[in-house]
Structure 1
Amino acid sequence: MKLKRSVFLFCSVMMSLAHAEVLTQTDYDQQIQHHMQIIQQTKAVLDEPNSKADANQQSQAFCDRLNAYEQIAKLSKDNANLEMASIMLMASQSFLDKQKARLGGSGMTAEVFCAGKIKQ
């Protein structure tokens, strides 16, 4: 029984590690920079008071921003030992938690709202 449990735990750990994207500091920094650029690009649509964006552009920008923060959180969690990863995880998770609460308050989820809008 103990052997089966040990084998199961070992396999579970190995499977979770297989899904983690372990990066070098340079690769991590580059990927974080990419996602930060996406967030920056959404500011003209979502944060500017005089934005001329229509509802479709706004929802697309929101979903792009949400996805960028999700990717930052995942990269940071998978690479917690790298410089700035814990701070980036905390900041991205804070944003995601706030958005989840806001969407949930209106009876919506990010998955439903952004279905078909996430660009890779």
Structure 2
Amino acid sequence: MKLKLVLLLYVASIGFAHAEAITQQEYDQHIEHYTQVIKQTKVILDDPDSKADAKMQSQALCDRLNAYEQIAQLSKENSQLELAPMMLMVAQTYLNKQQKSLTKSGMSTNVFCAGKIK
């Protein structure tokens, strides 16, 4: 019984261990970095004249998905910071839309992006 309780407490504490509070300036810097990643993928994914091949397109999509996932996680962990709730909503909306699209294709982000996250 004691072992079960200790294990339960340990597992519960793991979820809280990685979430460190950051400053507004640190948050803004992280958001700027992930926004730049997203902007870099626009040339490959959104430009109708893009010459990118399938490999480049799938890598760009995975980079974009990862950036949105990082924005969502960072915003969720720091919801008290300015713009964090809005950024979480935007990121979640995008991620949900992409997940639905991949699911319709019989795919998941984990399978599609396996080995592609930098």
Normalization by structure 2: what TM-score?
Answer: 0.89
**Structure 1 residue 27 and structure 2 residue 31: aligned?**
no
**Structure 1 residue 83 and structure 2 residue 79: aligned?**
no
| 2:57 corresponding residue in structure 1 | 58
Residue deviations 1:26-85 (CA, integer Å, cap 9, x gap): 000000100000000000000001000000000000000000000000000000000000
Write the distance in 1 (CA, Å) between the matches of 2:9 and 2:71.
28
Runs of 4+ off more than 3 Å: 8-11
| 1:41 corresponding residue in structure 2 | 40
| 1:106 corresponding residue in structure 2 | 105
- Kindly tell me the number of residue pairs found equivalent between the two proteins: 114
For residue 40 of structure 2, what is the amino acid of its counterpart?
Answer: Q
- Percent identity, aligned pairs only, is 59
Write the distance in 2 (CA, Å) between the matches of 1:40 and 1:22.
27
Write the distance in 2 (CA, Å) between the matches of 1:106 and 1:11.
35
Write the distance in 2 (CA, Å) between the matches of 1:102 and 1:22.
34
Aligned 8 A contact 1:21 1:75 in 2: no
Aligned 8 A contact 1:38 1:65 in 2: yes
SS at match of 1:108: coil
Aligned 8 A contact 1:69 1:95 in 2: yes
Per the TM alignment, residue 16 of structure 1 is displaced from its structure 2 partner at its CA by 2.5
Per the TM alignment, residue 21 of structure 1 is displaced from its structure 2 partner at its CA by 3.5
SS at match of 2:52: coil
| 2:116 corresponding residue in structure 1 | 117
For residue 81 of structure 1, what is the amino acid of its counterpart?
Answer: Q
For residue 19 of structure 1, what is the amino acid of its counterpart?
Answer: H
RMSD of aligned Cα (Å)? 1.9
